[in-house]
Structures are given as C-alpha cells and as structure tokens.
Amino acid sequence: MGEGCLSRVPAVFAALFPGRMAMVVADVNTWRVAGAEVYRHLLDAGIETGVFLIPDREFHAEWKYVEMVEAAVKGAGAVAVAVGSGVINDLCKLSSAHLGQSYICVPTAASVDGYSSFGASISYEGVKQTFDCPAPVAIVADIRVIAQAPKEMTAAGYADLAAKIPAGAEWMIADLFGTEPLIPDAWHVLQDVLDEMLSDPEGVAAGEPSAIAALFEGLTLSGFAMQAARSSRPASCTDHLFSHYLDMTHHRFRGKLQSHGFQVAVGTLTMCAFFDAFCEMDLGGIDVEALVAAWPTLEQEHERALKLFDGFVDPKLGYNVITQKYQGPDDVRRELSSVKAHWPELRDRLRAQVYPFRKMKHLFETVGAPSDPSQIGVTRAQLKDMVPKTQLMRWRINLLDLSLRAGIYDALVAAVFGPGGAWDLTDEKSF
Ligand SMILES: [Zn+2]
C-alpha cells in the first residue's frame, strides 16, 4: 500500500508467478484509471500480458461474468490481475479458484471489504450467495488511485466498514447462543481498531490520502478477519441482508443499481436503531417457560416462511433457511435462560459495541453515505416489509432471532417504525 505504487505490480507478479502470463481484468472505467497503467508496467517489465475488459458498462457480481473471466484467463493460460473495485475482484477471485490458482488484486476504490476476504459474493440463479474461495495472494493498493475514486464509492466503503459495528454485536448474540462462537483472532484484528478507522469521516469525504489509507486498511483488516474465521461472520450480519434483498429484487433508484455500501448503510442504520430499542428493553424479567411454551414448531415456521416469501424471486429461500436454523424448545429455553441470567452485562456489552442510531447517522451524513432509505429509493414502509424477510435469509442467528424468542419482536419493530422511531413511517421522506 502506498502512493504511486502501481509500478510495483510487475515485481510482485514476477515474484509470485514466475514465467506466467498476466491477464489484466478490468472494466471500461477501471481500465482508464489504473488498468492501462498496470498493463504498460507489466509489458515494460517483459511480462507477457493480455487484457480482458468486462463487455457491459453496468454490471453486478453475477455468475455469467465469472464464466466470462474464467474462460478468458483459462484460454490464455494466464493469471488474473484484477484491476477494479469489489465486483471485478470477486469475479477474479472465484474464477481463479475454479482454475486452481491465485491472482493479484489492484483495487481502484476503498468501496468494499472483499479485496482481502475469503469468499466471493455472487448472484447465482437469482440468489446472492457467498462462494468459498481464497483471497488474492497479493494486493497492490495505490492510495493515489483509490483517493481519486468517485466520492460515493469511498463513502460506500466507509459504510461497509461501519456495518462491522452492529455485525459485531450480532456475533456476540450468536456467541451467547453457542451457534457461532467468537473467534478471538478474527474479532480482535478488526474490532480492536474499528473505532479508530471510522473516526475521520471528514477526512474520508475530503479524499485526504491519510484518511483514505486508514479506511482502506480497515477494509483490508475486515477481509483478514473473514479469512481467520473462514466465514463472513466477522464482517456482516442482518445489516448486509437488506442489501442482499435489494440485489435479489434488482432494486434500482433513478434507473441505477445502488452500490453495495450504500445499501449496507441503510441496513446498518436500521440495525443501530434496532439495538437502541433492544437495549431499552428489560430481558432480565422475561418468563422463560411461557416463551418456550409459545415457541412455534418447525411446521408452523415453514408455513410462515412460505407465506412471507410468496412471490419472491426464490420463494423457498425462507423455508430452506428456517429448516437450517430452526431450534427446538430445549435450545430456546437454554438461550433465553442465558440471556435472562446475563441481561445487564449483555446489554452493557451490546451498548459498548453498537453506535447509537444518531451517531451512525451523523457519521454517514458527514462522509456522504445515505442517512435515510429514501436516498437509495427505498421507502420506510418497504424497509419495514423487508425486516421479517431478513430474519429468514441466512442461517446465522441474528438480533431478530433473539427478539422472536424473547417475545419482543413486534415491540422492536414498532419502536423503530412507529411514532418517534428512527424510521417513523409517518415521517416518510419523499424522493
Ligand atoms: Zn460488505
């Protein structure tokens, strides 16, 4: 990482892939901002180099592009040099894994945390999924290039990093439940420095190299955390599911697909609002046996899931997820007893982890990320409608699962979307 380090790409490539041909993979924009320069440096260094440009101007991380990149790289017998932002990197990551080899990443924006992560987030048959595949063997990050990325891309990266705040809190809940224990290496590498990495939204908005470098480093550490955990748990939870829902429904605003980070910004704010309301509740006084007696059967949950996802692009998504994550009365009793016994400590730990909604909103306003769903063309009513679906979009335990078990789900939704709430439906912003 450094200013003006694109010239180092050939040396890195030659050291890691001696004698191999390079294939610069870019799109029309990233070719202009860095791809052409990387290509020239590689040729100047005497490395045989090809180019594959994504043929479409607007594209998402979809399976057909993985196949295109794979065919191009395989056909040439080359190694990919991904020059671009999150999507280009994910396409190269998965296609390289299919070819049984690694690749080099040259990021052009501090827009996502996927550069250094294990796994690629790709839409396959209409459903956004994370495919297992290793991180690149090297990242050459030229801060000069990254700082010149469109402001909204950098703001999106900031929001993607900020999502680790509520995501961390949801991991604490899964840890308490025992479904996904905290992994110390994965936790500390990111969470210990996260506050600091998020502390300069003004500098990030102004494109100051030092602030951009700190943001990029934070995003990279998030990727390392995912590598350590071999899952996306350290970096995302319900905050990201709002984005996945919008991707799956091909949501557009003013004709344009909305960036991962901007969608995640809305999910992150929503989760901060949920945690604000959650920490106001008293779970130290719950009647565990009454809640266990009211706990639905798997058959009832199947019915609810099918109804909820009726007409959705993947109508069985919720059904499949609940099949995976359903827990019977004994588990629920154990979990609720644990929450009840540890309530004040749990609440204090969650409060120490999650930023209040107001604080997060202010950070996003400062950095230029969405601070209201209307800014990505989503109404508060639509957002409210997404909430029960996000509970059933991933097998991992989240805050909504705990709320359902504790019988406070409806109260939480009312606190966030009701009068005076963060997303008060009567205060709908027009767009
Ligand atoms: Zn993300």
Distance, CA 160 to ligand 1 centroid (Å)?
Answer: 5
Contacts of residue 364, defined as CB under 8 A and 6 or more positions apart, other chains included, come to 155, 158, 159, 162, 201, 265, 269, 370, 371
- The answer to whether residues 239 and 189 belong to one domain is yes
Say if residue 241 is in the same domain as residue 270.
yes
Alpha carbon of 341 to ligand 1 centroid (Å): 33
Cα-to-centroid distance, 290 and ligand 1 (Å): 38
The answer to whether residue 117 is domain-embedded is yes
| Same domain flag for 234 and 119 | no
- Tell me how far the alpha carbon of residue 41 lies from the centroid of ligand 1, in angstroms: 31
Residue 171 lies in a domain: yes
279 Cα–ligand 1 center, Å: 25
pTM of the model: 0.91
Instruction: Judge whether 387 lies within some domain.
Output: yes
With beta carbons less than 8 A apart as the criterion, state whether 288 and 340 touch: yes
Residues 213 and 292 both lie in one domain:
yes
Is residue 1 in a domain?
no
CA 310 to ligand 1 centroid distance, Å = 27
Residue 100, phi then psi, degrees to nearest 5: 70, 30
Return the DSSP state at 142: B
Q: pLDDT tens digits for 107-147?
A: 999 998 989 998 898 989 888 788 999 999 999 999 999 99
Residues 6+ apart with CB under 8 A from 212: 110, 143, 146, 147, 154, 203, 204
Percentage with pLDDT > 90 across the chain: 93
* Residue 60 sits in the same domain as residue 187: no
Rounded to the nearest angstrom, the distance between the alpha carbon of 427 and the centre of ligand 1 is 28
Judge if 107 and 144 occupy the same domain: yes
Rounded distance from Cα 135 to ligand 1 centre (Å): 15
Nearest to 234 by CA among 118, 364, 357: 118
Same domain, 27 and 169: no
In terms of domains, do 187 and 323 share one?
yes
Q: How confident is the model at residue 2 (pLDDT cuts 50, 70, 90)?
A: very high
Q: What is the mean pLDDT of residues 416-428?
A: 97
Q: Ligand 1 centre from 168 Cα, in Å?
A: 13
Last residue of a domain, one of 102, 125, 148: 148
Please tell me the distance between residue 424's alpha carbon and the centre of ligand 1 in angstroms: 26
- Sign of torsion over alpha carbons 342, 343, 347, 348: negative
Residue-wise pLDDT tens digits, 48-95: 999 999 999 888 889 999 999 999 999 999 999 999 999 999 999 999
CA of 235 to the centre of ligand 1 (A): 7
pLDDT score recorded for residue 60: 84
Q: How far apart are CA 39 and CA 42, in angstroms?
A: 5
- 178 found inside a domain: yes
Ligand 1: centre distance to CA 284 (Å): 33
Average pLDDT, the chain: 96
Residue 61 lies in a domain: yes
Our measurement of the distance from residue 392's CA atom to the centroid of its chain's CA atoms, rounded to an integer in Å, reads 17
Distance 240 CA to ligand 1 centre (A): 6
**Is the domain of 103 the same as that of 191?**
no
Ligand 1 mean position, distance from CA 252 (Å): 18
CATH at residue 129: 3.40.50.1970
Ligand 1 mean position, distance from CA 121 (Å) = 9
Q: Is 285 found in the same domain as 329?
A: yes
As to burial, measured by CB atoms within 10 angstroms (0-12 exposed, 13-18 middle, 19+ buried), residue 266 is buried
The residues with which 252 forms a beta bridge, in sequence order, are 257
pLDDT tens-digit map of 295-338: 999 999 999 999 999 999 999 999 999 999 999 999 999 999 99
State which amino acid sits at residue 306: L
Centre of ligand 1 from the C-alpha of residue 309, in Å: 24
Q: Would 393 be classed as within a structural domain?
A: yes
What range defines the domain where residue 392 resides?
152-427
Number of domains in the chain: 2
Is pLDDT of 231 > 90? no
- 291 C-alpha to center of ligand 1: Å? 34
- State the burial class of residue 181 (Cβ atoms within 10 Å of its Cβ: 0-12, 13-18, 19+): exposed
Please tell me whether residues 184 and 252 are part of one structural domain: yes
Say if 388 falls within a structural domain.
yes
Domain endpoint, select from 96, 126, 148: 148
Kindly give the distance from the C-alpha atom of residue 156 to the centroid of ligand 1, in angstroms, as a whole number.
9
Question: Among the three residues 102, 131, 148, which one is the final residue of a domain in this structure?
Answer: 148
- Note the pLDDT tens digit of each residue in 257-305: 899 999 999 999 999 999 999 999 999 999 999 999 999 999 999 999 9
Same-domain check for residues 131 and 157: no
- Return the CATH number at 400: 1.20.1090.10
pLDDT of residue 172: 97
The CA distance from 140 to 143, in Å, is 10
